[in-house]
Structure 1
């Protein structure tokens, strides 16, 4: 059992772990909520929520971005030290362009380690497919990664560079505040300015459209209320100054459809920017990953490209394909450690 490879993706909101056999067979995938901004004890709580498994650990991270630390470099140093303490001194950390490094060496490679999980997923998918574009739409962000000849082709590496290139979009399927999607939304025939308040999130939108996958929304809602269609409608209507009752559930559903379209439009523009920067063959697939990959399917239709499920590519079978897609960086970093 000690020959097992444990791939970890340590985010600021979720902890994800994939367990692989030495030959690369995916054995299990698990995810737990991990609001790391509340303290490192949340990492312990999340780890305790996963089934116990012994093996050799490799990790990638984005949790260094949380305001638990004053900057990314300090976050990489602090989070890597915490992981070594919990996963053991043999922990290897993925440093993107620099490959795998020792856990105690992460602070010296902070620029390569910080938020490199997109690089892990892209590199693993590229090795398996050769050519295409990966869109990993998670709960909070979306990564758009062109790959060709079994290698990833990126214009930006650090978050600031990737934001400028369109390869990183801060729009996800669950945690994004609705006020970040648009300045106005149509309601009763008028463009209504959205209230700049954290009343509702994209989870509410996609719950009302019926697209939100089961198990995708692991964090409390904006108001701490229930995760029902009625409660989502109540939260979303607040964004346009309305209440459920005077306004109907059907009106909230139409409002959600408009908001979802705004999000799709933004993601489509970013995809078009990435496609325009490289010679991506028209037949090259759009590969979907993350809990928001239902959006990638729609974007594949709009861009006239075939769609491939990234979970099936990473898992190799349908049994764990859905879980592998939800936790793609964890599965990918495990594959890269074996290759």
Structure 2
């Protein structure tokens, strides 16, 4: 008789997205990312879990990590962790549930209630721990829609300096910039327009998704939230939104000129990440690669070139079906807890 496959579902509950992966006998076979803007209410999470059900259906174990406790629907991080744990219990009343508590490892629901500080925003630790096992020494960088994590791994272990969000902001291991959702004025305060440095309008007129769409490097499936003006996610629409940032209309400049300005914003973002990467990579061997994950892997390949380090795609490291590799890398923390929980059993 054929031995039954062990099925582990991994969940990363973020403030903007829910990421879910499915591992069967230690191999990722499915993955999905769903927009769940928690600031609009926890019903968005309930709806997201319902939509993701085909991915986690029939799982023997469900493993969770989170950053959604940061959503302003909660009065504090501790309250956010408690609230999300309550939702997990309500959504999955039966079956084995594991919560990733970072430096404390996986814990059960009862123990999790007293480990809010370890559980809060520990998804980066899960992915870095998996990379440490797979590579040994590297600079692990995960650029998602909103943030970028830069974590050194050394000797097969996570070698972070900071742990909490506050500590990681100080250490440079957390940079609040992402490939799609970041506002343009979050990466620059001005932009060159026909040879003149023009201050930006500090309004949410456009996002990094617009800049990367105009450069032709955005996978539209990664941009899961509405555009700044609610209008079409097209190059023409992005051009109109970008023009507002410098007080103009799209017709004021040629399309090639707007593309140059879009390239400026992408470059400014890369410089932010590059500065942090220099700090995070201190002490790593010269031949240690950059392992890149998340929707912003295009940007991270450029980072590796700039740092003269080999680039390794997280998607190519993990045991996964080819059809699921790309989405599994975009949902890296969910992939990590699924694989780590399977190995821990």
Name the TM tier (shorter chain): over 0.9
Q: 2:147 aligns with which of 141, 164, 185?
A: 141
Query: 1:25-59 CA deviation, whole Å, 9 max, x = no partner?
Result: 11211111111111111011111222421212110
Contact 1:81–1:103 (CA<8 Å) still a contact in 2?
no
Q: Pairwise mapping of residues 60-99 of structure 1 onto structure 2 (< 5 A)?
A: 60-89=65-94, 90-99=96-105
Q: Pairwise mapping of residues 21-60 of structure 1 onto structure 2 (< 5 A)?
A: 21=24, 23-52=25-54, 53-55=57-59, 56-60=61-65
Greater shift in the superposed pair: 12-21 or 247-256: 247-256
TM-score normalized by structure 2?
0.95
Query: 2:268 matched to 1:262?
Result: yes
Q: 2:325 aligns with which of 302, 305, 321?
A: 321
- In 1: Cα distance, 2:33 partner to 2:271 partner: 29
Aligned-pair CA distance for 1:149: 1.2
Aligned-pair CA distance for 1:106: 2.4
- In 1: Cα distance, 2:220 partner to 2:265 partner: 20
Structure 1 runs (4+) deviating above 4 angstroms are none
TM-score normalized by structure 1?
0.96
Provide the residue aligned with 1:290 in structure 2: 294
Provide the residue aligned with 1:330 in structure 2: 334
How many residue pairs get aligned? The number is: 336
Calculate the aligned-residue CA RMSD, in Å: 1.3
Contact 1:73–1:107 (CA<8 Å) still a contact in 2?
no
- In 2: Cα distance, 1:214 partner to 1:313 partner: 24
Contact 1:314–1:332 (CA<8 Å) still a contact in 2?
no
Query: 2:165 matched to 1:162?
Result: no
Contact 2:27–2:321 (CA<8 Å) still a contact in 1?
no
Structure 1 segments unaligned to the other structure (5+ residues): none
Q: Pairwise mapping of residues 166-245 of structure 1 onto structure 2 (< 5 A)?
A: 166-245=172-251
Provide the residue aligned with 1:6 in structure 2: 9
Query: 2:102 matched to 1:100?
Result: no
Greater shift in the superposed pair: 201-210 or 80-89: 80-89
Contact 1:2–1:54 (CA<8 Å) still a contact in 2?
no
Aligned-pair CA distance for 1:250: 1.9
Secondary structure of residue in 2 paired with 1:70: coil
Contact 2:29–2:320 (CA<8 Å) still a contact in 1?
no
Secondary structure of residue in 2 paired with 1:245: helix
Larger RCO: 1 or 2 (CA < 8 Å, sep 6+)? 2
1:275 and 1:3, CA in 2 relative to 1: closer, same or farther beyond 3 A? closer
Provide the residue aligned with 1:300 in structure 2: 304
- In 1: Cα distance, 2:134 partner to 2:315 partner: 12
Secondary structure of residue in 1 paired with 2:250: coil
